[in-house]
Every structure is written in structure tokens, then in C-alpha cells.
Amino acid sequence: MGSALPLWGSALAMTIIVGGRYLLTSGAFAAITHAVRPGLYAGMERQIRREIGWSLASAAIYGIPAGIVAWGWQADGWTQIYSDIHAYSLWYLPLSVLLYLIAHDTWFYWTHRAMHAPRLFRIMHAVHHESRPPTAWAAMSFHPWEAITGAIVIPALVFLIPIHVAALGLVLTIMTIMGIGNHMGWEMFPRAFVHGIFGRALITATHHQKHHDAYRGNYGLYFRFWDRLCGTDLGLGRFDAADGQRRAVDRGARK
Ligand SMILES: [Zn+2]
Ligand SMILES: [Zn+2]
């Protein structure tokens, strides 16, 4: 099977796709935020410009390994990505999505927690926490060193865990939506979901907001499993939407 694009073309195309996906999805969520929480991002224009700048740099760091792997998949049959839906049992489709989310969450928890050690924090992770509080544009606002740790996960997993190309698309969609949703300053899931049985296991904005308020704990990405197991779960944060301003109630923990 020949590839339509040379290697560098694939890396460039993927960078444009990742950057374009970021601008479209973060832009859409920022517009929704403007509609449902008017004024939430008022006065944050400088921070948002910075978030967009770091995020577009991250797009290249994410796009290059993804483009190389996509090229190798097309040109040379690299990876365990399959396109014949019957290559594995149908029950494996949801299982493969879950395996990817668990693997990504595990990698994220431990690298994120390591980056909160003072030295690594300054070098790698301070950029992400400069957003106070983050906005819908902060989903990929990472220092390049941190972006590298995030960019290699899925390109590595596709060599290890078989996945149908559409299931991989679902994983990337979940990654994108949760990455933005967890930073946009309000909770998009219903209260009964967040404070019910699902919220005890899954991470949404209410949980991650508390990480940004407290500067520690709540290190997970999708699941509260590792935080709970390791005693780093701080519980859910709260959004005080009463005055239309972005003010987490328990901000005192930040100091
Ligand atoms: Zn952090
Ligand atoms: Zn964050």
C-alpha cells in the first residue's frame, strides 16, 4: 500500500489537523461559554492569547509523532490499527476504547504527579498553571517539555494495543472534549451525574478545577482511580457562578 504523502508531508498535515481541531473545538466551547456564562472570560484576553500561543506550539509537538505514525501505518503497515471491523470480535471495540483511556489516564496521572515536584514543575508544568483560572483555550496550553510527554502516548499505544480506526477516532474525540471541558470554568455535565455514581469514578471539570485551585492533588485525566488509590483525591471543587465571575469557592487552598 503506497502512501499519498511523504513523511514530512504527513507530519505537516497532522500538525495542521491538530491545530485546526484545537481552534475549532476550543473556539466552539468558548462560544458556548459566552452563551451560557456571559462574562466568565471577561478581562482574560491576555491570558487567552497566551493559551492559544502555547496550544498552537503544542499542536506541532502532537502533530509530528502522530503524522510519522500515520505515515508508517499507511505506507508500511506499522501499528496495530485495523480497518476491517471483523478483524477482532465486536465486543473488543468498546473494550479497546476503555483500554486506551485507562492506559492514557495511568500515564497522565504519574507524569502529571511527577511534574508537580518543585523542580520539574518550574521547567515543565508551570506554563499550564499560569492560567488562573484556565479557559476553554487552555486545553493544550503546555510548555513544549510537557507537550512531549502528552504527544507520545497515543502514537506509542497504537503499536501495543490493537484498535479499530473508528474506535481510535472516538478515543481522540473523548480526549479533545474532556481536555477542553475540564478547563472551561463551568460544568457541562448534569449535577446528578457529577455528584452521583459516575462522578465518583470519572473526572469532569468540577474535579479538575480543584487541581488548578489547590496546585496539588486531583492529578488524574479521565478516572479518579489512581487519585483515590494513592490518597491524592481532593474531592470535587465548586464553581461559584452567582456573580458571573470565575471564582471557585475553595480558592483559599491555593495559598
Ligand atoms: Zn498540574
Ligand atoms: Zn489542567
- Name the grid cell of 43: 478581562
Question: Which ligand is located closest to the Cα atom of residue 131?
Answer: 2
Per-position DSSP letters for 105-152, written without gaps between them:
HHHHHHHHHHTTSHHHIIIIIHHHHTSSS--GGGTT---HHHHHHHHT
Ligand 2 centre and the CA of 212: distance in Å?
Answer: 6
- What residues in the chain have per-residue pLDDT under 50? 1-2, 241-255
Domain extents in the chain:
7-254
In this structure, what DSSP letter does residue 190 have?
Answer: -
Ligand 1 centre and the CA of 191: distance in Å?
Answer: 24
Cell 469532569 locates to 204
State the pLDDT at residue 46.
95
For 53-92, write each residue's pLDDT tens digit.
999 999 999 999 999 999 999 888 899 999 999 999 999 9
Ligand 1 centre and the CA of 136: distance in Å?
Answer: 16
Ligand 1 centre and the CA of 109: distance in Å?
Answer: 10
User: SS3 of 73, please?
Assistant: helix
- DSSP H or E segment with residue 248: strand 247-248
- Name the grid cell of 165: 480506526
- DSSP H or E segment with residue 83: none
Is pTM beyond 0.75 here? Answer: yes
State the pLDDT at residue 248.
44
